[in-house]
Amino acid sequence: MKNNKLNILTNGIIKENPILVLILGTCPFLAVTTQASNAIGMGAAVTFVLLCSNVMISLLRKVISDKVRIPCYIVVIASFVTLVQMIVKAYFKSLDDALGLYLPLIVVNCIILGRAEMFANKNGALDSALDAIGMGVGYTLAMLAMASIREIFGAGTWFGIALPVLSENNISIMTMAPGGFAIFGILIAIINKASNGKAIKKKDFSCEGCPSAAACNGQNCAEKREAAAK
Amino acid sequence: MKELIAIVMAAVLVNNYVLAQFLGICPFLGVSKKLDQAAGMSVAVIFVMLLATAVTYPIQYFVLNPNGLGYLQTIVFILVIAALVQLVEIILKKYIPALHASLGVYLPLITTNCAVLGVCISNVDNYLTATGGFGGGFVQAMFNSLGSGLGFLLAMVLFSGVRSRVDKCKCPECFKGMPITLISAAIVSVSFMGFAGIVENLLG
């Protein structure tokens, strides 16, 4: 039993890392990973929202009727995002400036709605909390890895501390938009290579990983209709 | 007029939502495999962006701000957008079935598209000023939505072309699928960096 709980916790960190394996929540991942400190801040905010919403949804899973579950989840998630926005605005002014638009956009982050749909509405509060912590830590670690690469090579600093040699020879395109896309691609390729393609089951987007599939029941999914037509 | 053209051009080319600001990456990577799907999705996004701005901007101006409810922005906007998308789908299904057949598929996907919520929030942040009155800011916000939507369309259509070529090429096994797609997105994104400063130079 204890082993099982540990599995739930570590699942999100390695085997089902939300970013590098499930490829969910890519927008803030690419946008705020220009500095390691922003990545930690964003990771903490997402983990907090994920933890609170997972526990709340898990506790309410017998109350919420199946038909209106998506709007209910969105309300729960949006409330916690508003809470985080207030806390960050009040106590972490520089983080608020750095994250800007991406802080309220946590509400449409696929990971949170995805975990609510895939895990929290089927499992108890404790399991959901563990799942949220695992996923949150996995998300934060992936963000930190990406941000470290981009900041060290792109700006020659790490957590704002200037590094010798690198800060005079920085590759500034790595902190810009193209660098984000390219490094993300290379990171996924490295993981593919290291695990001999076992880690990445989902090499492409499909209905399984898409939280909107829950909203549309897969009926509207263009790819599914195509598959049915064949 | 010049000002409005500058807003549209800046949103399409310089601050492209997908390639420069990383909003709406999921549909950009997910639905860009075929040209017709990419175009259909983008037209639906333009439509919803305009509609969402037309609704959320007045809500912020007339309801939230005068009553000191600014902190409810996130929760109100996401609910309004979700309800709006559902409503549009029902109306299209009932009255314009032809349009529903081509756009309806993409509408549910748009509810959780961060580009739509992003454009609503950034419109309110950038164009809603306490002293400027309603009209001027609203027109600018609508043009910004139009530009953002067109920018999304441009990025999607261009990228679906690139992708159809990339998918046919041989690449190392570990790069197949998502990694090579992301790297081609990086190259498309580099090309958009070339537009930096174009608006200032053309329209002064």
- Mind giving me the DSSP string for B54-112? HHHHHIIIIIITTTT-GGGHHHHHHHHHHHHHHHHHHHHHHH-HHHHHHHTTTHHHHTT
CB distance from B130 to chain A under 8 Å?
no
Is there a domain that residue B164 lies in?
A: yes
pLDDT score at A199: 55
What confidence tens digit (pLDDT) does each residue in B158-187 have? Answer: 999 998 888 888 888 888 878 888 899 999
The answer to whether the CB atoms of A27 and B114 lie below 8 A apart is yes
The answer to whether the CB atoms of A104 and B71 lie below 8 A apart is no
Mean pLDDT estimate for chain B: 84
Chain A residues with CB-CB distance to B160 below 8 A: none
Is there a domain that residue B202 lies in?
A: no
Chain B residues with CB-CB distance to A30 below 8 A: 22, 25
The answer to whether the CB atoms of A104 and B74 lie below 8 A apart is yes
What confidence tens digit (pLDDT) does each residue in B147-159 have? Answer: 999 999 999 999 9
What confidence tens digit (pLDDT) does each residue in A14-56 have? Answer: 777 777 777 777 888 888 888 888 899 999 999 999 999 999 9
**Mean pLDDT, range A66-91, rounded to an integer:** 88
The answer to whether the CB atoms of A113 and B186 lie below 8 A apart is no
Chain B residues with CB-CB distance to A108 below 8 A: 78, 112-114, 117
The answer to whether the CB atoms of A178 and B21 lie below 8 A apart is no
pLDDT score at A200: 53
**Residue whose C-alpha is closest to residue B114's, from B142, B152, B156, B143:** B152
The answer to whether the CB atoms of B78 and A215 lie below 8 A apart is no
Give chain B's domain count.
Answer: 1
The answer to whether the CB atoms of A101 and B82 lie below 8 A apart is no
In angstroms, the Cα distances linking A86 to A45, A53, A80, A92, A206 are 11, 17, 10, 10, 35
The answer to whether the CB atoms of B182 and A185 lie below 8 A apart is yes
The helix-helix angle for B73-95 and A69-91 (nearest 10°) equals: 150
Residue B168, domain extent: 2-195
Interface test with A, best of B18, B87, B109 (most A CBs within 10 A): B109
Give chain A's domain count.
Answer: 1
| A72 — pLDDT class (breaks 50, 70, 90) | confident
**Mean pLDDT, range A86-92, rounded to an integer:** 90
Chain A residues with CB-CB distance to B78 below 8 A: 74, 78, 107-108
Query: B93 pLDDT exceeds 60?
Result: yes
Find, in chain B, the residue whose alpha carbon is nearest to that of A174.
B186
The answer to whether the CB atoms of B26 and A225 lie below 8 A apart is no
Neighbours of B7 (CB within 10 A): 23
Q: Which two tokens stand for residue B27?
A: 């549909």
pLDDT score at A214: 45
pLDDT score at B131: 58
Query: A222 pLDDT exceeds 70?
Result: no
What confidence tens digit (pLDDT) does each residue in B15-67 have? Answer: 888 888 888 887 788 777 788 878 888 888 888 889 999 999 888 888 888 88
CB distance from B79 to chain A under 8 Å?
yes
Residue A114, domain extent: 2-229
pLDDT score at A203: 42
Distance from CA of A174 to the nearest CA of B (A): 10
Is there a domain that residue B113 lies in?
A: yes
Is there a domain that residue B204 lies in?
A: no
pLDDT score at A2: 59
Distance from CA of B46 to the nearest CA of A (A): 18
**Residue whose C-alpha is closest to residue B147's, from B46, B20, B56:** B46
Phi, psi torsion values for A218, nearest 5 degrees = 75, -5
Is there a domain that residue B25 lies in?
A: yes
